[in-house]
Amino acid sequence: ISCLTMALTGFILDLVSHNKIVQIIVSIISVMSGMYIEKSFRLPDYQIVNTTSYDPDGEILVEIDQNRISEISKIITSKNKTIRSAFKPLSGEITELDDYYVIDVDKNDDVNQFMNNFKNMDGIKWIEPNEIIPFDFPQRTEIESMDKYGKLSNDPSVNMQWHLSFLNMEQYYKFFISNNIQPQRAATLYILDTGIDGSHEDLPSDLTKNKDKQGHGTHCAGVAAAITNNNIGVASMTPNKDWVKVKGIQVIGDIGFGTQKSIIDGIIEATDNGADVISLSLGGITNQERQKAYNDAVKYANDKGAIVVVAAGNANLDGKRYSPANAENVITVTSVNEKSEKSGFSNHVENLKMGIAAPGEKILSTTPSNTYTAFSGTSMATPQVAGLIAVMKAINPKLNTQTVYRILNSTGKETQNTLRTGKLIQPLDAIKALF
């Protein structure tokens, strides 16, 4: 429309080139018409719809000074609200997580108003809503055998795993064999998700036999730690079954929802059970500028030796708006395609401190009942990073988040837009950097 308007204006001005007054009048009319057209046809500014909702069984998380808990509890119960302890970390002496409580208000109460009324009360150290996290299931995709990638392992479906060739995993696997590299100990990787089908033929046999009705958690487990070179199914980031113990904690319900509290509970449980790496292919948009409970949970995991890896999210937005992708001291993972371009669905990490990229489109992996499915999403990119970090931790159990990120970032490759995606992981180079 703008081009047509300019062309028509130019044509008229040329016709009346002998009359300067008419030219001025036509120019004024053209400008005014352009402003009207632009206003009439302009798409509305993009706005994020506030879809935040709160756990009906406990809408508020509050951190309370233990010297004032009795007094504050009486005030809350006097208003016909209930209050109970939120988290029970085993190592309470190194964290403030056991100072958190859940407040359950009436369904007709204004949660924000209730928090505003209490946030300045003496003894209230922090207060925030216990948000419901709607699970963003990845897109199922069809793939074909791609012989151009060659045979990376003896797993029958490995030639359908383009992302492994893209990451030079053939040389990665050979490096471990030719140099006879052995783990100091098997690293423990926790997948916090929809559960894991622990009876799957291509997952480690010591996996807890729990359920996974949605299949998402089983898929993530396979991306990270399916048994490589066992003549079954697919390959993964682990050289063989001796490197990584993968375990699952269900923090997302069977119908696709979790809560901030359930995810933090999962982080605490994984940490207290000896996690080396915690992988979270989950999250959602948040209206909170800062969520202290997530930050405290990640710090608790870090202090006990675990590294937390989180998906950036699949809304093509700023990852800073997504939680727990925006938590402090997590490694946040974006998705790229075969051209090293940011996937159209992937959030970006331009405003986050530790962003990194991995392939996230058409990723074939394990799904329940000994099946294999390809999905696309940052959920698929995240366990590649988590699985690689688990292998790194198996070589050097003392690695911490900052050191691991420095290695991944320094050995990573530039993408088509590194500022928004972070560097693309290079597994072989990351492992070599440990020696």
* Residues annotated catalytic, as ranges: 193, 216, 379
Separation between Cα atoms, residue 70 and residue 65, nearest integer Å: 10
C-alpha torsion sign, points 364, 366, 372, 377: negative
Q: In what order do the strands lie in the sheet with 82-85?
A: 82-85, 100-104, 60-64, 124-129
Beta carbons of 334 and 281 less than 8 angstroms apart: no
CB 73 within 8 A of CB 86: no
Distances (CA, A) of 421 to 2, 96, 224: 34, 33, 20
DSSP annotation of 213 reads: S
Amino acid found at 14:
D
- The dihedral region occupied by 156, where left means phi > 0, alpha psi between -120 and 50, and beta the remainder, is alpha
Kindly state the tokens that stand for 24: 């001025």
Q: Classify strands 363-367 and 371-376 as parallel, antiparallel or unpaired.
A: antiparallel
CA distance 291 to 263: 13
